[in-house]
Structure 1
């Protein structure tokens, strides 16, 4: 019951009651698994045929190039989902992996043999899939924002673009970001040393103030 109470408050299960949620969990053969920090949840080149729901902890979606250089495409926290696009499309992600950024517990829904023809409750499944579609659309908007950040020419421009966007989301000039320094550098496609140097210069110039992951933008 505790798990159901947690799930029914998530966007993934919007407009679904407790009975319907249990039906979904049974239909997709749900199970839980715990991953220690830095362990891979999904690995590069392997099929993703499950949707993951983060019960506790955090994960990073990572992209690596031929030489092993990595960048963080996104970070997801408790209550968020991942893997849905690959699980539904059956496309193997050639250079995408998912890693636990802290000790993390995941609830998996298995889509390996999913077919609407196998369901005796299509209305509930359709509502569930509709929720997945809405979540995926929101993620696509966030990815478009990232493209805006990383296409800026200088490190400072990338930082300003990112921090301005976070201020707008929080409707405040003071806010907490979800990345540590290395993760932020990977997310913005910059070297960590260059990021730290530019943040220090911006702080000295009176443009920003920060302590760890808490930032204040100064006019």
Structure 2
């Protein structure tokens, strides 16, 4: 389900675009190490990521795959797509087979990348600032607060990051101005399950169709 379908059915397409823009700003480059302070990390690589937009957004219409690939290469090291996709499935994840969960994760990832890549193409001049900088946390979970300034105004964002078994920090959720992105997509999945009579395969096919349309459109 792409941004257009969300707008038609749920009325928050613009919010999703801003949230996904915030997700992009939170990512970091592949060489990030476990020893890095997650606050400093997010603050320090924002300009790097905005540079990706400035350099590659020009290909959005002429060669969209090139642009999407550039964005996805930045997100892959940091975003735990499988974890987020399973969370979006919610209680239905236990009903799904391993193959179904894998298919949905792929569809969700494809749709997510294409949606925000298109949505943030003109946001190369954003200014970002971590508002709660601190020392490296001793635990395995941290919330990093950030302000994103763009022509739309100031957006307050809270990122939830966890440290995995390999010691790498991974992004698992975003809260935008108090609205929980993960819960919102979970509600969307649940609504789709009702629409399709509890048929997980149909829900995945619908999501995949949205992802394909988003890439073409």
Considering fraction of residues, name the structure with more strand.
1
Alignment TM-score, normalising by the size of structure 1 = 0.26
Q: Which has the higher contact order (CA 8 A, sep 6+)?
A: 2
Considering fraction of residues, name the structure with more helix.
2
| Larger radius of gyration between Structure 1 and Structure 2 | 1
Alignment TM-score, normalising by the size of structure 2 = 0.26
